[in-house]
Amino acid sequence: MILTELQSKSGINPTGEVDVSFDNYVSARSRRFEKHWVGGIPDYAYASDFALRQKIKAIPGAYRVFKALNSQVVPQMKQQYNMSGTKVTPNQFPQIYQVTKECADMLGIGMPAVYIQPDPSVMNAFTYAVEDAEPMVVIYSSMLERLNIDELKAVIGHECGHIQNMHGVYNTAAEILLNTAQNTLLLTLPGIRQLLALASRPLQYALLAWSRAAEVTCDRAGILCSGEAESTISVHAKLSSGGILNAETLNIEELLKQYDVMRENPNRFFEWSSTHPHSVRRIMAAREFMNSQVYYDWHKEQKRPDMRLYSKQELDARCDRIVSVTKSEKR
């Protein structure tokens, strides 16, 4: 509309100098992101994420069963959330729509469908993504109540990271493995019993270890979308305390002391059964990312000449020492 007014008033086409053809848009876009792809994965992805995924993929039959499960579970879940949630559109939750678009544009992926799930009791967000259908991001209403828009952008950027890194097939398998005992309905789906037969303890632990590594990758995606790490750190701090309303009483440095306790405790192996690294580990890994070359490859405008930055290998090695349950090092 603005364009039409300008054209009619000035008598010229203000975009006359700009090539707006779709073919050129697509090739310009792929050129822009090409340099961020290394060996078929985004340059920011945590090395352990890819390495562990390859190990799981090498287990005979695993990937085939995961894919079969996804084809059963994902359409059902999508239907369920379409029935119980509210879809974000340009005219409904427009701010959420806008930040989702900004995240998708930053990472160079298509716009996912976003649904708000009414549940004030659980702070959660997740994504269903399979190769041949539009991905779906689900955000629980408690997130909207307890996070500001910058924090929501970090969360949505994180979810877009799952889409970009094609985590969907493995995420769904991990979720099913952990929830089948609680959700007996899942047992009626074709392929579930095959998966459970395949899912020896080592595979379960491999999936969980991969899942924790994948979260580090996606926190980095969220940080890239935000253009800062503070929002991601703030989300983790709020998650660690349930996002209680007086969030200003949270103190990140106090919170990080729990890392010192956790890494020294002989029962730290409890964490092996977690799908996500503990919040304090994620906060520390987020800070490391802000000292890396790869962050400034995406945000050149923030780079200062006097910065000493870690290479990608150094970054991942430092994150290994933070995220690893058994090899965590002193701060």
Contact track, Zn ion, 218-237, x by CB under 5 A: x-------------------
Q: Rg of the chain's alpha carbons, rounded to an integer?
A: 21
Contact segment (CB under 5 A) with Zn ion among 131-139, 183-191, 217-225, 310-318 equals: 217-225
Q: Are 218 and 286 in contact (CB under 8 A)?
A: no
Contact segment (CB under 5 A) with Zn ion among 19-27, 64-72, 86-94, 212-220 equals: 212-220
Contact segment (CB under 5 A) with Zn ion among 130-138, 141-149, 197-205, 216-224 equals: 216-224
Nearer to Zn ion, 218 or 325 (CB): 218
Q: How far apart are CA 192 and CA 64, in angstroms?
A: 12
Q: Are 185 and 295 in contact (CB under 8 A)?
A: no
The least distance separating Zn ion from the CB of residue 114, rounded to whole angstroms, comes to: 15
User: Residues touching Zn ion: how many (CB under 5 A)?
Assistant: 2
Residue nearest to Zn ion (CB): 218
Contact segment (CB under 5 A) with Zn ion among 52-60, 85-93, 103-111, 211-219 equals: 211-219
Token output for 135: 């991905």
Q: How far apart are CA 183 and CA 176, in angstroms?
A: 9
Residues 6+ apart with CB under 8 A from 104: 110, 111, 112, 160
Nearer to Zn ion, 218 or 284 (CB): 218
Nearer to Zn ion, 147 or 310 (CB): 147
The least distance separating Zn ion from the CB of residue 218, rounded to whole angstroms, comes to: 5
Nearer to Zn ion, 219 or 320 (CB): 219
Residues 6+ apart with CB under 8 A from 323: 48, 212, 213, 216, 277, 281, 285
Nearer to Zn ion, 175 or 316 (CB): 175
Inter-CA distances, 296 with 44, 101, 315, Å: 11, 22, 13
Nearer to Zn ion, 215 or 320 (CB): 215
**Adjacent-strand bridge partners of 310:** 292
Residues that bind Zn ion (CB under 5 A): 215, 218
